[in-house]
Structure 1
Amino acid sequence: MLHKGSCHCGKVAFEFKAELTGAVRCNCSICSRKGALLAAIPHDGLRVLAWGDDLGTYTFGNHAMAHRFCRTCGIHPFSEDVRQGGERSAYINLNCVADIDPTSLTIFDFDGRAV
């Protein structure tokens, strides 16, 4: 199924295809603060439709993840695995996807603080 999402103001928009049955709630220092419910998809399955200078990037720790945010409204719609080599993933914040009711998904807790 094709899903479309965006930040709050719409300057950062994206789409992806996936059959979603669950979401991951990570307790790392950034995910817990932004309250993200995540779905991992293959990186090449994420299509960013609008961004340009409006898309900011934040990294920390080992800099393996690029946490993307809108410079206008501050919402974090997705993150990207920026490791070199191997299969990369994108992590969609399902709270930013219009046609998904996060309460209908099974939530899996991930101990990101231990990573």
Structure 2
Amino acid sequence: MTFSHSHSGAPTLRRSVTPVAWPPPRDSTGGRIGGMSKPTSIKTSEDVRDRLRVLAEERGTTITELLEELASRELTQAEREERAAEAARELGIEYSEQVRQAGQDAWAQIRAHQGGAAA
């Protein structure tokens, strides 16, 4: 769900975005459906690679499966917007630009108090 401004300056809601299932379903052989089982590589530092290895070993999994799990937990901007709009509807609140901004500001404050990146 995205917002734009009309000629009058009022925020207008554009079409909803359909969330994509992540991770994609597996076929009967355990590979990703749609040809997504082709291996690829990600460039990173040795320190990050070593940390991923330790984290995977501690969880009894592989680095690949660990990365899939981490990626599946993180929402895209479109998914965050859709969930915020759903929550506003459930609360009976119109999801306006002001409500969206207030929500982003609140989460930035929460992250700042948790020691995470603000924004």
Structure richer in strand, relative to its length: 1
Structure richer in helix, relative to its length: 2
Greater RCO (CA < 8 Å, at least 6 residues apart): 1
